[in-house]
Amino acid sequence: MKEAYQPIEIHIENPINLFEEHRLEISKAIVNGIEFGMRSRKQKIDFAKVVVKDVIVITLSIKKKEFLGLLDEHLKILIEYEEYEMCALITKLKQKLNKSNEKVTKKNRVLD
The tens-digit pLDDT sequence of the chain (112 residues) is 556 889 999 999 988 889 999 999 999 999 999 999 999 999 999 999 999 999 989 999 999 999 999 999 999 999 999 999 999 999 999 999 988 877 666 656 555 4
Nearest to 27 by CA among 53, 4, 3, 8: 8
pLDDT tens sequence across 73-102: 999 999 999 999 999 999 999 999 988 877
Asked whether the beta carbons of 60 and 12 are under 8 A apart, the reply is no
| Residue 19 CB contacts under 8 Å (≥ 6 apart), including other chains | 26
Output the pLDDT for position 38.
Answer: 95
Output the pLDDT for position 59.
Answer: 95
Asked whether the beta carbons of 44 and 64 are under 8 A apart, the reply is yes
